[in-house]
Structure 1
Amino acid sequence: MDKLTALTMFVAAADQGSFSRAAERLGKTPSAVTKAVAQLEAELGTRLFERTTRRMALTEAGQTYLEGTRQALTQLQLANEEVAELQNELRGRLRLTAPPSFGPAFLQEACCRFLDAHPQVRLEVDLHDPTHDVIEGGYDLAVRDGPTDLPGVIAQPLMENRVVLCASPAYLERQGRKVTLDNLAEHDWLILRNPLLSRRYWWVEMNGRSMRLQQPVPRMASDNYDFLLGCLLAGQGLQFAPTWSVTHYLETGELVEVSIDQWRVLSAFGPWVHALYPQHSRGNRKVKAFLACLRQRLGEREVGVGGGVPDSGAGRGAPEG
């Protein structure tokens, strides 16, 4: 077995925590993965994994070897792609990650447009909450409303994440009364549950001052934003929503922005959504091309900040409430 194949199997086994799951991901047999790791251990003269009948974990030597191997494989992949791209046609794989709600809101359209423009590129898109490290996860690009001060990662603001209060015309007609600070508890509220969000109050800004506002008991609460958005469109209540997720519905009239006495809710995470990518991907043509495609799509929705924004290292953006 060649060294490159063995290293690839080792990294997959470490990432998956299982020889069988690594084999399934790579389209190999478990015995092939076991043989590859054994070959590396024999060459190094040390064990890379501690294996029992119940679990498998990297040894200290295995962790050190994994970090170096991952960097080497990444650099080799970049070199291969850069040589291929000298032929002026983008090709190869581009791995992306983003929170699930970004998919239907804008990322799906950008991905389809990118694939149409670059038929030799394969996209791998993982939609999950931002728990995976961009570099350790092997991603070329992440679209995140999470932290940006990450080692080895470049962050660029993609769009403002202004939060607005929305309701459907059907809900407002059914309620028959204006939303005010005095009658918040009399309305039906759809509220997102998230470990970073308070269940007791919202932070709001009024006349340049920030203050806490008691949160009403929700008519419906969920940890899934897209589920709540569907209920919002169905007329089930009021909801705070980021503009990137509701611009289309506000334009079509399916939703209405509701203002309350000149105050606005402050995002718990910050005002921006960012594109994050490893420093070694700064010159990656596929990353640049995808970001250009994404910025164009966001610009058409009038939520993007354009392509000339400098690298940034701070800021978060996500819906409050």
Structure 2
Amino acid sequence: MDLNAVQMFVSVVQAGSLSAGAARLGLPLPTLSRRIRDLERQLNVQLLERSVRGTRLTDAGTRLYEHAGRGIEALLEAEQAVVSDQARLKGRLRLSLPPAFEPWWELLSLFQQRYPDIQLHVFTTERRVDLVEDGIDVALRVGAIAHESMVARRVLGYRHMLVAARALVERLGLPESVEALHRFPCATWSSGANAASLWHLGEETIAPRSVLTTNDYAHLRNRALAGDVVAELPPFLATPALRTGDLIPLLPDSPMPEQQIHLLYPSHRHPSAIVRTYLDFCIQHVRSLVTL
């Protein structure tokens, strides 16, 4: 078996496509494609399914990658260790984050201070990305995880909170019950124009009187601070204004459901040294940075 071709195959899988793999390896795309086809003919199996949207691993390709990826990664790590005990991690880390997840910005800044030779590419989106097709190494997800092809590492949990500006509370009073929210103008997060907005508060569920729906929590915070609405916010977006008294928490005895934060990476992709370092760094530092 051509080990150079196997290493090229591993690079294609890690890059997410033949064209990205060719760019990573510094090879012409036709040359790389020919070497992968030669490897498939040598093994008498199809390793990659090719389409206009990119490449996907076949079952045989997944098995080869699981074994070859671990071996190549081990060899590279051994090489780094032999060259210098002080060798610094170098390379590119491609991340996916949800919008307005501000605590992670500080965490990434600290990560790059610790590992200055790692370049970060951060793709911010509300949609569920395909990590392989979009070329993402690690994605941060909020909510339940139900994807068998992903490895999920739980980071922590938190609860959203209802808040309002002091001026709105002085005008309308504090809601004494969940049902009393019906007399308040509300702004709610929604994934789409036609998606229902519900608040689960303690044992009760309410459809608030929404004057605004948006998928941008920063927008919700802006309208709440203006005194226009009651809004649901992640605690890390609400806490600074709560400390100054610009926002007031509502119905603290009726907590919202716990949200789970996970870091995801493909189960068929053996995590590189950079990915493992990033995962460990996040687990170690997130609780000291994220006010939840």
TM over 0.5: yes
User: C-alpha displacement at 1:153, in angstroms?
Assistant: 3.5
Match of residue 58 from structure 2: 63
User: Cα gap change, 1:166/1:79 in structure 2, threshold over 3 Å: closer, same or farther?
Assistant: farther
Unaligned runs of 5+ residues in structure 2 are: none
Bigger shift: residues 92-101 or 106-115: 92-101
**1:245, 1:112 → 2: CA distance?**
18
**1:81, 1:248 → 2: CA distance?**
43
Question: Between Structure 1 and Structure 2, how many residues are aligned?
Answer: 280
Match of residue 280 from structure 2: 288
1:247-276: per-residue Cα shift (whole Å, max 9, x none)? 22322334222237x433x32xx3443455
Match of residue 214 from structure 2: 222
User: Cα gap change, 1:297/1:8 in structure 2, threshold over 3 Å: closer, same or farther?
Assistant: same
User: Cα gap change, 1:199/1:130 in structure 2, threshold over 3 Å: closer, same or farther?
Assistant: closer
1:113 is the counterpart of 2:110 = yes
1:211 is aligned, of 204, 209, 216, to 204
User: Cα gap change, 1:94/1:244 in structure 2, threshold over 3 Å: closer, same or farther?
Assistant: farther
Could you tell me whether the CA contact under 8 Å between 1:81 and 1:91 is conserved in 2? no
| TM-score, scaled relative to structure 1 | 0.66
1:281-313: per-residue Cα shift (whole Å, max 9, x none)? 699445323432333323xx4x3xxxxxxxxxx
1:161 is aligned, of 145, 148, 158, to 158
The code of the aligned residue for 2:90 comes to: G
1:202-228: per-residue Cα shift (whole Å, max 9, x none)? 3322xxxx2333x12310112333433
Match of residue 263 from structure 1: 254
User: C-alpha displacement at 1:192, in angstroms?
Assistant: 1.2
**2:223, 2:71 → 1: CA distance?**
46
Could you tell me the percent identity over the aligned residues?
Answer: 20
| TM-score, scaled relative to structure 2 | 0.71
1:122 is the counterpart of 2:119 = yes
User: C-alpha displacement at 1:168, in angstroms?
Assistant: 2.7
Where in structure 2 are the equivalents of 1:1-321 lying within 5 Å? 2-4=4-6, 6-8=8-10, 10-11=12-13, 15-16=16-17, 19=18, 29-48=28-47, 63-71=58-66, 72-73=68-69, 75-77=71-73, 79-81=75-77, 84=80, 87-88=85-86, 90-93=88-91, 95=93, 97-101=95-99, 103=101, 105-129=102-126, 131-132=128-129, 141-147=138-144, 153=151, 155-158=153-156, 160-173=157-170, 175-181=171-177, 183-194=180-191, 199=196, 201-205=198-202, 210-213=203-206, 215-259=207-251, 262-264=253-255, 266-267=256-257, 270-275=258-263, 284-298=276-290, 301=291, 303=292
Could you tell me whether the CA contact under 8 Å between 2:220 and 2:233 is conserved in 1? no
Aligned-partner SS, 1:179: coil
Could you tell me whether the CA contact under 8 Å between 2:172 and 2:184 is conserved in 1? no
**1:76, 1:47 → 2: CA distance?**
21
User: Cα gap change, 1:88/1:122 in structure 2, threshold over 3 Å: closer, same or farther?
Assistant: same
**1:200, 1:114 → 2: CA distance?**
36
Unaligned runs of 5+ residues in structure 1 are: 304-321
